[in-house]
Chains A and B, each alone.
Chain A
Amino acid sequence: MYKSRLFLLLGLVMAFTACKKEDSDAVTPALEALTFTNLAAPGDVIDRTTGQVTQTNPFIYFSFEKGTTVSASENWDIGFKGTTLIFNSGVSGSGQGGAVIKTGTFDELTEAPESTEFRQDTNSEFAVPTGSDNGWYNYSGPPTFLITPIAGRIIMVKTFDGKYAKVEVLSYYKDAPTQPNALSDQSATYTFRYMYQADGSRTLK
């Protein structure tokens, strides 16, 4: 009896504080989570027998501010090519960009990390490391050869002009099929969810 009363009391206190918090946040409207589908960014073509690159493909660039792909000469935030992601700074660009991977769900990671936590692309390593299980994806190898975005890996992004965004890669195959087939579905075709904070703060919710 006594215990349940205590919980009731606790519940009331929490409800009260929760309401209070909502009130104070009401001034800034919640940011919108947007989904971009079918960003096609084929990787370089490699001859299977020699291992040599036979065709070099360009990076496909994306701007969070515009919400679309942009050309290399415009202000881009993230570049896609095959499974490789680059960000606008370091060896990849002249901006103030960067990235760092965080573990959690898209909704619960509501704040970008401190500016110092962000990494830049360097000659030895990309901000989002390449390779299976190192960065955003897993490669299953034979027999399915699937590239699967690892659930719970959220890429925190610093844009070209030092603002913040978060990105979750949802699918590597065209139209985000529920049962992708690496041999028949068009690969290197990204579907991702993102949220962009235009005011320069680290808040992402």
Chain B
Amino acid sequence: MKIPTITLIIVILNTYNIFGQSNRKDSLKAIELSEIVVTATRTERQLGSLTTPLTLIKKQQIQTLGALRLTEVLQEQTGLAIINDHGQGIQMQGFDPDYTLILIDGEPLVGRTAGTLELSRIAVNNIKQIEVVKGPSSSLYGSEALAGVINIITDDPDRTEGGLNVQYGANQTLNVNGQVSFKHKKLGVYLFADRYSSQGYDLNPETYGATVEPFFNHTFQSKIKYQFNSNLKLTLSGRLFQETQEQRSDIGNTTPLIVSGEGTQTDGNFLMTLDQKLGKNLKMQYRLYHTIYDTESGLRYENDQQIFDQSFFKQRFTRPEVVANYFLNDQHFLTLGVGGTLESVRATRYEGERRFNTQYIFGQYEWTPAKNLTVLGGARLDMHSVYGQQLSPKFSTRYQLVPWLALRGSVGVGFKAPDFRQLYLNFTNTTVGYTVFGTEEVVAGVERFTQAGEILNIFTDPANFTTLNPERSVAYNFGVDMQWKNGLKAEVNLFRNDIENLIETQIVARKTNNQSIFSYLNLREVFTQGAEVNVTYQLFKNLQIKGGYQYLIAKDKTVVDQLNRGEIFKRDPQTLITTRVTNSEYGGLFNRSRHMANIRLFYTYKSITASLRTIYRGRYGLGDLNGNQILDADNEYVAGYWLWNTSVAKEFGQVLRLQVGVDNLLDFRNETMIPGIAGRLWYVRAGFNFARK
């Protein structure tokens, strides 16, 4: 019988980690040791053996949460905060949502609005597991993997079964999804369909329009696997998401002037993977990926049905890639990859079709010089058609000091390429009259305005804007993993990220209408640093307790320098007296909580599972109120809050599962500051499962 190379590695790595397995009574620990993850190294690895921090969320946990969309799952994880900025995205290690790469089965999702990829686009009932890697992974994944990577691994057709889930809850939220999985000899087929609809909600009924307008969406996913022989396997998978949402607003100055319409978004991806084993030591993978993201929106005046605004956005992304995994012997493991990316965008706000392409190579070498030591080094070179070359190295190591304690450390570089918006935007706001140009457009754009005699004065020579560099970070992570025989497990990770070349808008010129022309420049330098702690403990046989905490400091280095020079002031809103801001008053970047925590209880008794989870988000800055653009006064913060969620489920044999739950049990609301929190939400759910034994 042939043992696949990758299994061999896992077996070998297993032997390094069996220290905990001497205590066989602890079944939980045994399970966790056998967890296989792929995102940290792009090869299958045991969770316990990684050199970088990784959070694994399994299907069963997603079910326990009663979650329907990815946001609901991620918001309960330590160190992750949901940020509302042109959509719901995730903040990781203090980075904005722009800096976390979102993958489905290892390939990137595209379609970001102002940097945020709307995570509620992603249904969760077809997810096998979610892997969250913290710290930069640009050495493997290239652009956007600056704060980290979230990889969504979808279900595999590894047996014949079918299922149907129906969930109904507050705000007339209805979700129906079903999946069929078929496995016969060499062929596996998986089909998934999901419909999600909601009436939305309105936290401020006195203003026109709802906080979340009614919407419905569909997700379809399919996967076909064919094992030609033990050395060759083909996988085809496709996913389609489509959402329609009502839009309406009152644009009248004094008397109501209603515009309304519909917005649709479509997000689709297709992946073909061919896995090939060449001999005992070499495994090849050939991948071809294509994804699209389209939005369309049309608003008309309700009184005369004239068009108020019509816009579209079409993004395309294609990537062929070849990856080779070479297994030299017990101690040496090599991964090499080469690929290319072709991206294009057409949109209302862009002149014609804009394209750019990237070619890249990456390599990773894993060395296990001793049973208790793993050393990993890697680098990736991206060659981009617009901004040039980018080299992202990373080095990490793990050392098992004593059976119950291991040390982890890594140093790595992450980067985020300038996006289409920053390079090619050509947008004039018709209501206010300002203009924004991407850096590749600004010279020609300002020239056009000059020709037309619409420029009053130029503040910055447009020629200064032509070279936009990728945003870049150097990150350090140091961690300790502890695991005691009594079932107590603790992970600590300290992190520091130094980010340079942050891209920001900068004023170029003033137009004759007194409005400005903006473009983008690499300007600021910031840092984020902090500590994350995760603890898991099997309190009783039936009760598991999990806790997590993140401490975070994130500051603008330029602001710190200005504070040191005494150049930043604040005005007391009562007395109107201006004083200097001291360094200790500076609260750092807006929207970051210094403290975030969670405590989660999971109870299992026979066929009943129950959970009670609480998530704390400490106070965070919302916006400046005392005239200095930085966070330094108490009234500039949103108060911290706790959310309590609970659920109970009972299984009836293998066939039926019933669940009831309440999210935001205490009905916490902050209508003006946090419109993304809807208030108390109850739900009931029935799941049917038909498996062939």
Q: Which residues from chain A sit less than 8 Å from chain B, CB to CB?
A: 35, 46, 48-49, 51, 84, 103, 105-106, 124-125, 130-134, 138, 140, 144, 148-152, 168, 170-171, 176, 178-179, 191, 193
| In contact, B627 and A124 (Cβ under 8 angstroms) | no
CB distance from B145 to the nearest CB of A (A): 30
A151: B residues at CB distance < 8 A: 568-571, 578, 626-628
CB distance from A205 to the nearest CB of B (A): 16
Stretch at the interface among B221-229, B469-477, B506-514: B506-514
Listed by A's residue number, 15 A-B pairs whose Cβ atoms lie within 8 Å are A46-B433, A48-B251, A48-B253, A105-B580, A133-B507, A138-B624, A138-B627, A144-B623, A149-B571, A151-B626, A152-B567, A152-B580, A170-B571, A179-B625, A193-B576
| In contact, B576 and A148 (Cβ under 8 angstroms) | no
Cα–Cα distance between A131 and B460 once the two chains are bound (Å):
14
Binary interface profile of B, 623-654, with partner A (CB < 8 Å = 1, else 0)? 11111110000010000000000000000000
Q: Which residue of A lies closest to B252 (CB)?
A: A48
| In contact, B457 and A125 (Cβ under 8 angstroms) | yes
| In contact, B574 and A178 (Cβ under 8 angstroms) | yes
Q: Which residue of A lies closest to B456 (CB)?
A: A124
Q: Which residue of A lies closest to B626 (CB)?
A: A151
Cα–Cα distance between A193 and B576 once the two chains are bound (Å):
9
| Number of residue pairs A-B, CB distance < 8 angstroms | 73
Does B579 belong to the interface (CB within 8 Å)? yes
**Which DSSP category, helix, strand, loop or mixed, fits chain A's interface?**
loop
Does B431 belong to the interface (CB within 8 Å)? yes
| In contact, A131 and B628 (Cβ under 8 angstroms) | no
| In contact, B513 and A105 (Cβ under 8 angstroms) | no
Cα–Cα distance between A133 and B629 once the two chains are bound (Å):
10
Q: Which residues from chain B sit less than 8 Å from chain A, CB to CB?
A: 251, 253, 430-433, 456-457, 459, 507, 510, 513-514, 516, 567-571, 573-574, 576, 578-580, 623-629, 635
| In contact, A51 and B626 (Cβ under 8 angstroms) | no
Cα–Cα distance between A23 and B513 once the two chains are bound (Å):
54
Cα–Cα distance between A183 and B347 once the two chains are bound (Å):
32
| In contact, B457 and A171 (Cβ under 8 angstroms) | no
CB distance from A86 to the nearest CB of B (A): 13
| In contact, A170 and B576 (Cβ under 8 angstroms) | yes
| In contact, A152 and B507 (Cβ under 8 angstroms) | no
B627: A residues at CB distance < 8 A: 138, 148-151
| In contact, B507 and A134 (Cβ under 8 angstroms) | yes
Cα–Cα distance between A149 and B624 once the two chains are bound (Å):
12
Q: Which residue of A lies closest to B455 (CB)?
A: A124
| In contact, B510 and A131 (Cβ under 8 angstroms) | yes
| In contact, B573 and A178 (Cβ under 8 angstroms) | yes
Cα–Cα distance between A120 and B477 once the two chains are bound (Å):
54
CB distance from A18 to the nearest CB of B (A): 21
| In contact, B576 and A171 (Cβ under 8 angstroms) | yes
In addition to A138-B624, A151-B569, A152-B578, 18 A-B residue pairs with Cβ atoms within 8 Å of each other are A35-B576, A46-B433, A48-B253, A51-B431, A51-B433, A84-B514, A105-B578, A106-B578, A130-B510, A134-B459, A150-B628, A152-B569, A170-B576, A171-B576, A178-B574, A179-B573, A191-B576, A193-B576
| In contact, A49 and B430 (Cβ under 8 angstroms) | yes
A49: B residues at CB distance < 8 A: 430-431
Residue from A105, A152, A176 with most neighbouring chain B CB atoms (10 Å) = A152
Given that A144-B623, A170-B571 are contacting pairs, would A51 and B628 also be in contact in the complex, using a CB cutoff of 8 Å?
A: no
Cα–Cα distance between A151 and B572 once the two chains are bound (Å):
9
| In contact, A124 and B457 (Cβ under 8 angstroms) | yes
Q: Which residue of B lies closest to A140 (CB)?
A: B623
Q: Which residue of B lies closest to A48 (CB)?
A: B431
B579: A residues at CB distance < 8 A: 105
Closest 9 CB pairs of A and B: A152-B569, A151-B569, A151-B627, A178-B573, A124-B457, A151-B571, A170-B576, A51-B433, A148-B627
Cα–Cα distance between A49 and B308 once the two chains are bound (Å):
9
Residue from A35, A130, A133 with most neighbouring chain B CB atoms (10 Å) = A130
Give the contacting residue for B628; candidates A140, A152, A170, A193; CB below 8 A. A152
Cα–Cα distance between A105 and B507 once the two chains are bound (Å):
26
Give the contacting residue for A176; candidates B432, B567, B576, B626; CB below 8 A. B576
A134: B residues at CB distance < 8 A: 459, 507
Given that A49-B431, A130-B510, A131-B516 are contacting pairs, would A103 and B628 also be in contact in the complex, using a CB cutoff of 8 Å?
A: no
Given that A131-B516, A148-B624, A170-B571 are contacting pairs, would A138 and B629 also be in contact in the complex, using a CB cutoff of 8 Å?
A: yes
Give the contacting residue for B569; candidates A51, A105, A132, A170; CB below 8 A. A105
Q: Which residue of A lies closest to B429 (CB)?
A: A51
B433: A residues at CB distance < 8 A: 46, 51
CB distance from B207 to the nearest CB of A (A): 10
Cα–Cα distance between A168 and B569 once the two chains are bound (Å):
13
A170: B residues at CB distance < 8 A: 571, 576
Q: Which residue of A lies closest to B510 (CB)?
A: A131
B507: A residues at CB distance < 8 A: 131, 133-134
Q: Which residue of B lies closest to A168 (CB)?
A: B578
CB distance from A171 to the nearest CB of B (A): 7
B457: A residues at CB distance < 8 A: 124-125
A176: B residues at CB distance < 8 A: 576
B513: A residues at CB distance < 8 A: 51
A132: B residues at CB distance < 8 A: 516
Q: Which residue of B lies closest to A35 (CB)?
A: B576
Cα–Cα distance between A191 and B576 once the two chains are bound (Å):
10
B253: A residues at CB distance < 8 A: 48
CB distance from A134 to the nearest CB of B (A): 7
Cα–Cα distance between A169 and B538 once the two chains are bound (Å):
61
CB distance from B573 to the nearest CB of A (A): 4
Q: Which residue of B lies closest to A136 (CB)?
A: B627
Cα–Cα distance between A138 and B459 once the two chains are bound (Å):
17
CB distance from B591 to the nearest CB of A (A): 14
Q: Which residue of A lies closest to B568 (CB)?
A: A152
A125: B residues at CB distance < 8 A: 457
Q: Which residue of B lies closest to A169 (CB)?
A: B627
| In contact, A103 and B567 (Cβ under 8 angstroms) | yes
B629: A residues at CB distance < 8 A: 133, 138, 150
Cα–Cα distance between A96 and B350 once the two chains are bound (Å):
48
CB distance from A112 to the nearest CB of B (A): 18
CB distance from A184 to the nearest CB of B (A): 12
Q: Which residue of A lies closest to B430 (CB)?
A: A51
Cα–Cα distance between A103 and B430 once the two chains are bound (Å):
35
B624: A residues at CB distance < 8 A: 138, 140, 148
Cα–Cα distance between A50 and B570 once the two chains are bound (Å):
37
Cα–Cα distance between A176 and B73 once the two chains are bound (Å):
45
Cα–Cα distance between A140 and B568 once the two chains are bound (Å):
18
B571: A residues at CB distance < 8 A: 149, 151, 170
A105: B residues at CB distance < 8 A: 569, 578-580
Cα–Cα distance between A132 and B627 once the two chains are bound (Å):
12
CB distance from A197 to the nearest CB of B (A): 20
A133: B residues at CB distance < 8 A: 507, 629
Q: Which residue of B lies closest to A141 (CB)?
A: B432
